[in-house]
Amino acid sequence: MYRRRLFRETIVASNECTILLIGRDYDSKRLFNEMLDMAVDLDCSMLTADSFENGLKCLDGGGIDVVLYDLDIPGPNGDNAVVHLRRKTGDIPILVLNDHEDADMIQKTLHSGAEDYLVKDTIHTGMLARVIRTARDRQHYRNTWRDRQPRMNALIIHNADAIVVLNRKGVIRFANPAAEAMFGRPAEELIGTAFGFPLVEENSTEIDIICCGGERRVAEMRLVETEWGAEPAYLASLRDITVRKRAEDKLRKYERIMASTSSPIALVDREYRLEAENEAFRQWFHRRNPPGRSAHLKTVVGEKNFETQVACSLAHCLAGEESHRQGQLRLPDGSLRYAEMAFYPYFDTDKTLAGAIWTLRDISQTKSLEAQLRQSQKMEAIGTLAGGIAHNFNNLLMSIQGRVSLMQIEADQDHPFKEHLDGIADQVGSAADLTKQLLGYARGGKYEPVPTDLNDLVARNISMFCRTRREIEMHAAYAESLWNVEIDQNQFSQVLVNLFVNAWQAMPGGGALSVATANTELDAEKANAFGIAPGRFVRLDVTDTGSGMDATTLKRIFDPFFTTKIGGSGSGLGLASVYGIVSNHSGAIDVASEVGKGSTFTIFLPATAKAPQRQERRALQTLSGHETILLVDDEEEILKVARLMLLKLGYRVLLAGGGKEALEVYRRKQSDIDLVILDMIMPGMSGSDTFDQLRTMDPEVKVLLASGYSLNQRASRILARGCDGFLQKPFDLTVLSRKLRHLLDPPDEVKDARPD
C-alpha cells in the first residue's frame, strides 16, 4: 500500500546576510555588532558608512542585504533620504533608526519606502534579529511575487470571470477582457470611471449591470483588499450569473404557479417516491400527517387508492406513455372525491426519463350533476309512459263515472242498488286520485296556478298535519320577505302532505320534522343539472330524523310504483307525484339521506313578482241547461256516456268521432251550436288542430277542452290561444254542469266552481 505525503512549501530567506549601517554614532555601531553576534539564528556581517554619500558608495558595490539608516546623519531629510536610498537599493529592505518616536516621521519614511522604523534606545538583540529576518522574508516574497507576476497576470487576463481593480474611492484602475465583455466597453473607457456599485467586503453579493446597449446582466461579485502599485485597492471578481438567475426566476414562477393552482400536482420518481408536491396535493392526502422525505406514493395516497386508481396508469407513464383516467379516491378524512387524473412523463436534460408528473382535478360536483341529469332524463322518459297510462285509465274511468252518475241521479235513497252505486263512485274517485298522482309524476300539468306565499301554505299544511301526528316534534323556520311562487295550491298541498307522511313513516318511534324556507338563486351550472332555467328561486327544505335511505333506494325513490313499505301498504306514487308536480311547476327537487341519520328533501320553485292569492273550496250543485252542445271524442264509449249525461242535464247533443267530422258538423250546424266539448288527444286531426280550424271558421266559437291528461303544456298552449276552458276526465254530472254554465251564462249569473 502506498501513502501519499503532503508537503507545504515555506519560503524563508537565507540566514546569511550583509548589513550596511549608515550612521556616525560609534556606540550604536558597537552595540549593533554585539547584538548581531549574539543573534543565534542569524549569520550577519556588518559594513558601516559615516555619511550619506559614503553609504551610497557602499551600495554601488552590491552585496548588501539590509540597510540600517540613522536619521541623525547629515544629509537629506529623513523621508527624502529614504527616497534616494530606495532608488539606489531597489528592493533591499531599509530599516530607519531614530533617537525618539515621531509619528509624522514614521508615516513619511514608511510611505517613502522604508521597511520599518526603530527607536534606538528600545532595540535589543531579539528585536533586531526579528526585524532583520522579517524584512528579508518580505523581500524574498516580493522577489518571488515578481517572478510569478507574469503568470498571475496571464491568469487574470484570461480568467473567465470579470476582474476589476478599484481604488478606495471606487475608481476603476484595471479591467480584464472578461470585464470588457461584461460591461460592453473597452478597458480604456472603463479605467478612470466610477465602478458605481457598493464596495461591501462580504462573501458575495449580486449586482445588476446595464450594458451600454441596454442589456441587463446579473453578476455575483466578490471583493478583497489588495494593492495596486503602492496604492491600497480592491480586487473585484464578477461572475456572470444571468442565465442562472433567469432559470431561477422561471423555476420560481413555476413554483408559484404550482403552489397557487387549486388542482393537486405531484412529482413522482421512477421508484414511485414522492419528490415534490403543491399545497393542494398536501391538502388532499396528508394535511395533518406529512410523509417522510421521498416517501413511497402508496404510503402517501393510501394502499387501496394506489392499487386501484394510480398504479396501472403510473406504470404506463413511467414507460414513457402519457396516461389519463377518471376514478374515485377516498381521502384520509374519509371523504370520497371523483378525480380526473393525468400522468405525464418528464425527462432530465439528457433526455433520460426521470419520473412522472401527476395532476388531479376534482370533478365530484360535475359527476354529481351528470348523475342528476341522467336521473332527470330517466324520470322524464318514465313520466311520459306514466302519463299515457293515466290518460287511458281516465278515459276508462270516464265511462264508469258517467254511467254511475246517471244511475245515481235516478236512484233514490231507498233503491236497493243505491249503496252499490255510491261504492262504485267512491272507488272511481279513488282510481281517479291514483291517476292524478300518476299525472302529477308525469308532469301532466297544474290545474290552477296562482301567486302564493309559500310560508302561508306551508304553515296551513303543518297545522293540519300536526293535529293527527302528535308524536312528531315539528320545527319550522320561515324566511322573512320570502319571494312569492306561482303554484297550484291544491297540488302543492298534496306535495307537502306526501313529504310529511313519508317523513312520519320513516320515524315510527317518533322524531323531529323540520321545515325551512329561503330565497336563493341558481346559476346556469346548477340549474342545467336539474333541467330548469337559472334565476331566482324559493327553496323549501323538509328534514326528518328517521331511518334514512341507502344509495340504492335513493336512486329509485322517485320511480312510480317503487315502495319500501312491506305488505303492499303503499302505492309507490306518493314521491313520484311529488317529483312530477314540482317539475311541472318549472321547479326541481333533490334529496340527501344517510342510513340512520334521516333525510332532507329540497325543493326549488321559481319566484314570481305577482301578489299572492288564496284558492278557496266551495260546495258544488248540479245545474241544468238547454243549449246545443257539439261533443267531439274519438272514444265511442266516451261519446255514449257523455251524450247521456248532457241529455240528462237538459242539453241538445251533436256527436263527432274526430276532428274532421267535427269541422263538417260545425260547418253545417254552426248557427245551432252554442258550445263545443273537444277532446284534446285524437288520432288524425288533434284537438289542437281542430280548435284552430274551428276558430278560423268562427272566431266567436266557445270551446271546452277535455282530456284524460291534466292541464299540461299542450293544453295550456290551446287555452292561451283563446280556448274557453278545461275539463279533466273523469268528471261527474255536477262538475260537468258547473263548467258548462260557467261558460254559457253571463259572469254574474253563476259563481265559479272548482273540483274537489
Same domain for 477 and 593? Answer: yes
CATH number for the domain that contains residue 276: 3.30.450.20
Of 608, 640, 673, which residue is a domain's last? 608
Same domain for 340 and 463? Answer: no
Distances (CA, A) of 538 to 360, 441, 488, 532: 36, 21, 15, 14
The separation between CA 609 and the C-alpha centre of its own chain, rounded to angstroms, equals 36
Backbone φ, ψ for residue 142 (5° rounding): -65, -40
Same domain for 311 and 459? Answer: no
Residue 164, domain extent: 159-244
In a domain, 333, yes or no: yes
In a domain, 565, yes or no: yes
In the chain, DSSP finds a helix count (H) and a strand count (E) of 24, 27
In a domain, 249, yes or no: no
Please list, residue by residue across 24-49, b when 16 or more beta carbons sit within 10 angstroms of its beta carbon and e when fewer do.
ebeebbebbbebbeebeebebebbbb
Amino acid of residue 75: G
pLDDT of res. 542: 94
pLDDT of res. 201: 67
pLDDT of res. 376: 65
pLDDT of res. 519: 95
Instruction: Say if CB 107 and CB 18 are below 8 A apart.
Output: no
Instruction: Say if CB 428 and CB 460 are below 8 A apart.
Output: no
In a domain, 434, yes or no: no
Instruction: Say if CB 702 and CB 676 are below 8 A apart.
Output: yes
Of 183, 218, 244, which residue is a domain's last? 244
Pair type for strands 353-362 and 336-347: antiparallel
Contacts with 21 (C-beta within 8 Å, 6 or more apart), sequence order: 28, 29, 32, 46, 47, 48, 49, 68, 70
Same domain for 122 and 65? Answer: yes
Please tell me whether residue 540 adopts helix, strand or coil conformation. Answer: strand
In a domain, 239, yes or no: yes
Pair type for strands 66-70 and 511-522: unpaired
pLDDT of res. 500: 87
Alpha-helical (H) ranges within 333-487 are 364-410, 418-441, 454-468
Please tell me whether residue 391 adopts helix, strand or coil conformation. Answer: helix
Please tell me whether residue 93 adopts helix, strand or coil conformation. Answer: coil
Query: Percentage helix, strand, coil, to 5, in the chain?
Result: 45, 25, 30
Same domain for 706 and 603? Answer: no
pLDDT by residue (tens digit) across 575-609?
Answer: 777 887 888 888 998 898 888 888 999 999 999 98
pTM for this prediction = 0.39
Q: Identify the segments of the chain with pLDDT beneath 50.
A: 1-13, 441-446, 566-572, 619, 750-756
Dihedral over Cα of 519, 524, 527, 529: its sign: negative
CATH number for the domain that contains residue 513: 3.30.565.10
Backbone φ, ψ for residue 680 (5° rounding): -80, -40
Q: Omega before 449 cis (within 30°)?
A: no
Of 82, 111, 145, which residue is a domain's last? 145
Q: How many Å apart are CA 633 and CA 654, to the nearest integer?
A: 11
Instruction: Say if CB 204 and CB 224 are below 8 A apart.
Output: no
Please tell me whether residue 574 adopts helix, strand or coil conformation. Answer: helix
pLDDT of res. 541: 94
CATH number for the domain that contains residue 33: 3.40.50.2300
Q: Which helix (H) or strand (E) holds 119?
A: strand 116-119
In a domain, 79, yes or no: yes
What cell numbers appear for 206 in the block? 449580486
pLDDT of res. 580: 78
Q: Which helix (H) or strand (E) holds 218?
A: strand 216-228
Same domain for 176 and 220? Answer: yes
SS (H, E, C) 361-381: EECHHHHHHHHHHHHHHHHHH
In a domain, 602, yes or no: yes
Which candidate, 71, 151, 62, places its Cα nearest to that of 108?
71
Beta bridge partners of 522: 535
Same domain for 595 and 480? Answer: yes
Q: How many Å apart are CA 354 and CA 345, to the nearest integer?
A: 8
Q: Which residue has the cell 330524523?
A: 545
The number of domains in the chain is 5
Pair type for strands 628-632 and 484-488: unpaired
In a domain, 576, yes or no: yes
Backbone φ, ψ for residue 482 (5° rounding): -65, 135
Amino acid of residue 181: A
Same domain for 456 and 579? Answer: yes
Same domain for 141 and 187? Answer: no
Instruction: Say if CB 567 and CB 543 are below 8 A apart.
Output: no
Same domain for 270 and 209? Answer: no
Edge-first strand order for the sheet with 162-167 is 172-175, 162-167, 231-240, 216-228, 205-210
CB atoms within 10 A of CB 456: 14
Backbone φ, ψ for residue 200 (5° rounding): -110, 125
The separation between CA 595 and the C-alpha centre of its own chain, rounded to angstroms, equals 31
Same domain for 557 and 509? Answer: yes
> If 0-12 CB within 10 Å is exposed, 13-18 middle and 19+ buried, where does residue 494 land?
buried
Same domain for 603 and 634? Answer: no
For 142: left if phi > 0, alpha if psi spans -120 to 50, otherwise beta; the answer is alpha
pLDDT of res. 567: 42
Instruction: Say if CB 133 and CB 41 are below 8 A apart.
Output: yes
Q: Which long-range contacts (CB under 8 A, 24 or more apart) does 662-670 make?
A: 662/630, 662/632, 662/690, 662/694, 663/690, 663/693, 663/694, 663/697, 665/630, 666/630, 666/694, 666/697, 666/698, 666/701, 667/697, 669/628, 669/630, 670/697, 670/698
